[in-house]
Amino acid sequence: MTSLCPQMWTQLSHRRSWRVNEELDRLEWRSMSAPLVSFRDVEKTYRSLQGVDYKAVEHFSVDIEAGEFFCLLGPSGCGKTTVLKMLAGFEAPTAGQILMDGRPVTGASRERAVVFQGDDSLYGWLTAVENVEFGLRMRRVARAERRERALRYLDLVGLTGQAQKYPAELSGGMKQRIQIARVLANEPKMLLMDEPFAALDAQTRALMQEELASIWQAERTTVLFITHDIDEAVTLGQRIGVMRAGPGSQVKGVIDVALNGARSRTDDVFLKYYRQVHDMIRDEVAAAVGRARRA
């Protein structure tokens, strides 16, 4: 029971009827277990240039709790990015509902910040620090305050000395750091990350994963992290939702990763989860490859 419920109880107990009881149950349910984000039977159909309908996801349902790091893992082309775009509000579902805080998502909002896969989303005419303070500037936060906050987040992602450089002058890893600092500085309720490290080299990727994990430990912002990399999912995720191969994909199963703090890739427990996820996704990858070959 949360702190809200006992108060409600004493207020209402003197005139309890079945109606009140029901109301109470509803309140209790909401305050105790309402997820931050809830996909309910979501479906998305795209129409190709040839006019053929393609169902990317179908009967897609999953809940994301406030404060958790949720990885959505799936073979390529299974609709992971589609799911993220719908939650971000860039695209509307064809059917079903996406709720955040119990309200349907109707468009993009600063509550749900997005870290994109490539560096297209950065503004090439702005310096690193100006990119980071973009959201604050749009909200008319005072210049000194937003600069101070932007520099703090650049510091957090390890770009202290690069504030005055333009994105074109920075490496791929640094550009992704700017993106991460930019969304954190805007203080969203939730981060949506679409394979943010996929284009980086292996060493940089491992380093960025470590840093993201420690940033998340400190900030505890809810994260939906899209990836096709099992290793990445087990390294970062608290829960891993494994998706089926498309078309008409949905979550095949959710795995709780009971690992805390530093996760070593050579630990037995890490390997246990890796194997578990691997077993779940193996058939789906084979299906995706087979389907691509036939199509």
Partner 1 sequence: MSATARRIWSVYGGYALGFVSLFVIWHLAAVYLVGSVLFPSPTVVFRKGWVLARTGVLWEHLSASLQRILAGFLAGSLLGMPIGLAMGSFRPVRRLLEPYTEFLRFIPSVAMITVAVIWFGIGEASKIFLIIYTTIFIVIINTAAGVSAIAPDKIRAAQSLGATRAQIFLHVALPATVPYILTGMRLAMANSFTTIVAAELIAANDGLGKLLWDGRLFMLVDDIFVSLVTLGLLGFAVDRLFRWGIFVFAGKYSPAT
What residue ranges bind partner 1 (CB under 8 A)? Answer: 88-90, 107-110, 112-114, 116, 118, 120-125, 134-135, 137-139, 166, 168, 182-183, 186, 188, 192
CB contact set of 23 (below 8 Å; sequence gap of 6+):
none
Looking at residue 78, the DSSP 8-state letter turns out to be: S
What whole-number distance in Å separates Cα of residue 238 and Cα of residue 248? 26
Closer residue to partner 1 in complex, CB, 186/250:
186
Structure tokens at 196: 């943010």
Closer residue to partner 1 in complex, CB, 170/240:
170
For the CB of residue 68, give the shortest distance to partner 1 in the complex, in Å.
Answer: 20
Helix 172-185, helix 202-219: angle, nearest 10: 10
Angle CA 190–194–197, to nearest 5:
115
Closer residue to partner 1 in complex, CB, 64/288:
64
For the CB of residue 207, give the shortest distance to partner 1 in the complex, in Å.
Answer: 24
Whether the CB-CB separation of 20 and 27 falls below 8 Å is answered with no
Whether the CB-CB separation of 70 and 241 falls below 8 Å is answered with yes
Closer residue to partner 1 in complex, CB, 64/113:
113
For the CB of residue 134, give the shortest distance to partner 1 in the complex, in Å.
Answer: 6
For the CB of residue 222, give the shortest distance to partner 1 in the complex, in Å.
Answer: 15
Closer residue to partner 1 in complex, CB, 45/109:
109
Structure tokens at 233: 């999912």
Amino acid, res. 213 = A
What whole-number distance in Å separates Cα of residue 256 and Cα of residue 262? 16
Closer residue to partner 1 in complex, CB, 178/255:
178
Q: Which residue has the tokens 């990015």?
A: 81
For the CB of residue 21, give the shortest distance to partner 1 in the complex, in Å.
Answer: 41
For the CB of residue 116, give the shortest distance to partner 1 in the complex, in Å.
Answer: 5
For the CB of residue 39, give the shortest distance to partner 1 in the complex, in Å.
Answer: 18
Closer residue to partner 1 in complex, CB, 23/91:
91
Q: Edge to edge, what strands does the sheet with 37-47 contain?
A: 53-64, 37-47, 95-100, 103-104
CB contact set of 259 (below 8 Å; sequence gap of 6+):
234, 269, 270, 273
